[in-house]
């Protein structure tokens, strides 16, 4: 057993052990007190800042301990497209692909978990695209 981090409550008598369980005991967000992962990436511009591409997919790989429910949002030239959701059961390594077709220069992604029955470990976020024009 390694070191354990404890928090002491300022307005109460409880001592909290940090780093175990799934929930945030202090706050309910919406109808859930679960912690949810929420990742934004910086943009990629595969054909330079003024080049042109047709972006085709956001590809995500991750490991889950008890099923998953994640949302993937492509962001092209700073504009978010519709979020696509993916759900599944089981454990182990998983891959999801959010397909879309949008022309642009820059692409970013938002990946988040929507519900949590276990732990999620994010391994890779990638994209695919057709290169139309590079500049320079």
Residues contributing to the site for other proteins (CB under 8 A):
1-29, 34-46, 56, 59, 108-109, 113, 116, 119-131
CA distance 84 to 99: 9
Nearest to 115 by CA among 77, 79, 89, 76: 89
Pull the structure tokens for residue 94. Answer: 């998983």
Q: Which residue has the tokens 């943009």?
A: 43
Instruction: Give the nearest distance from C-beta 82 to other proteins in angstroms.
Output: 19
Between 76 and 120, name the residue whose CB sits nearer to other proteins: 120
Instruction: Give the nearest distance from C-beta 34 to other proteins in angstroms.
Output: 8
Q: Please name every residue paired with 88 in a beta bridge, in sequence order, or none if there are none.
A: 68
Instruction: Give the nearest distance from C-beta 78 to other proteins in angstroms.
Output: 12
């Amino acid at each position: 057993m390694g070191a354990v981090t404890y928090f002491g409550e300022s307005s109460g008598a409880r001592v909290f052990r940090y780093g175990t369980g799934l929930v945030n005991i202090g706050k309910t967000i919406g109808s859930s007190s679960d912690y949810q992962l929420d990742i934004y990436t910086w943009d990629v511009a595969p054909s330079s800042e003024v080049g042109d591409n047709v972006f085709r997919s956001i590809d995500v790989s991750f490991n889950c301990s008890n099923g998953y429910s994640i949302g993937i949002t492509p962001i092209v030239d700073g504009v978010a497209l519709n979020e696509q959701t993916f759900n599944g059961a089981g454990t182990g390594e998983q891959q999801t692909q959010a397909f879309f077709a949008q022309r642009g220069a820059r692409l970013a992604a938002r990946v988040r978990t929507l519900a949590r029955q276990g732990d999620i470990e994010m391994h890779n976020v990638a994209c695919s695209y057709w290169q139309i024009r590079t500049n320079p």
